[in-house]
Structure 1
């Protein structure tokens, strides 16, 4: 029998076996749509978590002196960038797609409210640039720093709770320089912020960069934070910066390399989604196997008749597999359409989510439509259908003519 005749016969058989075909199509569609929704949800977690880290802490790329990441806790004064403004200008010209570059000066010290002290990890920042970057910092009281705030300070919610601070309070920042001198500056609390990380908020303090330079008695900075127009350009921009500043004694680090929490979260969800894919694959396999077995059982005499009329076993096998191929293709296509439609509908409403582990803020989750994941889901549904059909089709092709004709008599 020619391939065109087999395809035509397979399509007629699918239409003739409406109930069984519909059951198989439903199983494939639900499985594929489920994979699309699950993968889109996980991708949204990755994207929103990454953007929260970028816009509240790290920026897209950080540029420091070589060895700063290992030595910043022991001797941070040895890793200062002496002329940060000149380096910022060079960075802006080194690669396309860079939105802004800003300097930060890190420090550790004690924050005193007049009654007790709290150890903090602080940063001197460029207020207006940081306010534009910090879209994921939520101010629960007060406001963000401005360039005009010469003695303004903002603290994490955990710091404010530990010291009983409120906006407008005067607080003193005390730190010890490498030479042993103790410097102090008084500040007015202008804002209390909340980021995605409780640990960060429990110790984080930010002051204007000029105040930090005065406090630490240096014109330098510890790092340059680079913000990009598009997060997906991070790797390419980092590579261009590494090439442009090779031999300059600088260390260029991307945001995901700076966040161990993000890497562990991605790894955890990747493993969980891998298990989910396996479960859905097994569900589709079992559903299709059951449907195909029932269909072939009911058609045993039909196959016996075909064998008696001279069709070969491989023709029957091909016919069943072509039917399965068509069902798999239809089901996968329908599943991709249903999955994308459901993703758009759910995203239009949003999914309110509680704060992730070790986080302060909840968020509204979406279902991301990722073309590669959609194609993978459709392929899984299609392949699962073919795998589920192969063994029953082989058994049907090996039927004895007499036994097949006597089936059900």
Structure 2
């Protein structure tokens, strides 16, 4: 190895670069998926399990939402089940979805509102508890207050500092109250009640929030549940969102609630958040990311594999004379092949260790740089962060080690089959 240190160094560099490429790319995609999940579960307040009347978000449910609302009796049944499973439940939040027209006296804008249990919604959001980029959040306001998406706020004559300036390095609002000004502090919200009547409320806009996605930013209103129920003249809610202590228990928890509903004839449907229609865009984006991941990983693996393969092939081919010398002093063919295989394994192990350290260092640099990028439907820049994924590191180690050993094995076997005079006279 000392005589051929250049080739050994070339093999090490090839494996290190391949390891870094696989580790960084897989870490980026893994972190992006984690961000998306957090955006839905906490930022979007879907929780881990959504409980609704069966068919509420189907075509018929959209046409006649009040037919599929959860009345007081069903709410009491759900509360009883949640009390039974209190050890599994972190918190729950009731949501009433209403829609209509919002106006500050000039023109009307279509809105979609979520009426929320304010205190519980803070618990669901977790680290996203402070969710406004200007003004103040609902939990610091009164019962007659609403917060609106930045896009909708602009249409209603409300302005604040650029939303991206209120976002920290981790992509969350900084938690600082920032100034907001509205041409009219009150907004008139009109909607059709449960009984088909037109009703109006006149709340105060106290904050602007970043909805994460442009469509949400341009349409959504958050308000206290009592205000939404007053607007719709109802005591019903659209759904419950349940935040579990262990997210992995969502399918089992949903199945248990479904069984509870069936036993009592309640007609409820409990669905893990990522299987609900609300998460349709999440499923589409993860499907696209999966295809993208497979394609790029295939390319990275092919390039890294070919680089390691050619480097090792060249290193072994130029050492045929050494093989002849070893054969002449009594080494058997299998000993020769074993030596080169062990050498390749040692090179791969050293390279993977260096690659792991380099990957870890690069991840630290990138994550501390505070970089961000704009992405498609995202309303504000997405923080560029990368996770260290153990499974990706193991895959890179196994794959690149296998390629290195195979690349050493094949030419070593061929060279070992040469006669001793031919091997000693090789001109490589």
TM-score range, shorter chain: 0.7 to 0.9
1:281 matched to 2:301? yes
- Residues 96/343 of structure 1: CA separation in 2 closer, same or farther (3 Å cut): farther
What is the TM-score of this pair, normalised by structure 2?
Answer: 0.83
Q: Distance in 1 between matches of 2:417 and 2:287?
A: 46
| 1:17 and 2:4 correspond | yes
For residues 47-86 of structure 1, what are the structure 2 equivalents within 5 Å?
47-57=34-44, 58-70=46-58, 71-83=60-72, 84=75
Aligned counterparts of 1:213 and 1:132: Cα–Cα separation in 2: 21
Query: Shift of the alpha carbon at 1:240?
Result: 4.5
What is the correspondence of 1:141-160 to structure 2 with a 5 Å cutoff? 141-146=134-139, 149-160=142-153
Q: Is the 8 A contact 2:193 2:234 kept in 1?
A: no
Unaligned runs of 5+ in 1: 1-13
CA distance in 1, matches of 2:392, 2:316: 33
Q: CA RMSD in A?
A: 2.6
Shift of residue 109, structure 1, vs aligned partner: 1.1
Q: Report what 1:250 is aligned to.
A: 268
Moved more, 238-247 or 256-265: 238-247
Distance 2:273 2:213 in 1: 15
Q: Assess, with a 3 A threshold, how the Cα gap between structure 1 residues 299 and 374 changes in structure 2: closer, same or farther.
A: closer
2:212 aligned to 170, 193, 196, which one?
A: 196
Shift of 1:139: 1.7
TM-score normalised by L of structure 1: 0.87
Which of 75, 79, 89 is the matching residue for 1:98? Answer: 89
User: Contact 1:238–1:254 at 8 Å: present in 2 too?
Assistant: yes
1:218 matched to 2:209? The reply is no
Q: Are 1:37 and 1:367, in contact at CA under 8 Å, matched by a contact in 2?
A: yes
Q: Closer, same or farther in 2 for the Cα pair 1:140/1:351, shift >3 Å?
A: closer
Task: From 132, 137, 152, give the equivalent of 1:139.
Answer: 132
Provide the residue aligned with 1:317 in structure 2: 337
SS in 2 for 1:69: coil
Question: How many angstroms apart in 2 are the aligned matches of 1:268 and 1:49?
Answer: 13
Q: Secondary structure at the residue paired with 2:240?
A: strand
1:196 positional shift: 0.9
Could you tell which deviates more after superposition, 134-143 or 191-200? 134-143
How many residue pairs get aligned? The number is: 395
Contact 2:130 2:137 (C-alpha < 8 Å) held by counterparts: no
Which residue is 2:121 aligned to? 130
Q: Which whole-Å deviations, capped at 9, do the CAs of 1:197-231 have from their partners, x for residues lacking one?
A: 11011111122211222222221111011123454
Deviations 1:278-333 (A, max 9, x none): 23322332332332233223222222334445544444333322322222233223
Among 335, 352, 356, the residue aligned to 1:336: 356
Q: Give 4+ residue runs of structure 1 displaced > 6 Å after superposition.
A: none
Assess if the C-alpha contact under 8 Å between 1:137 and 1:193 holds in 2. Answer: no
The aligned residue for residue 261 of structure 1 is 281
Contact 1:335 1:378 in 2 (8 A): no
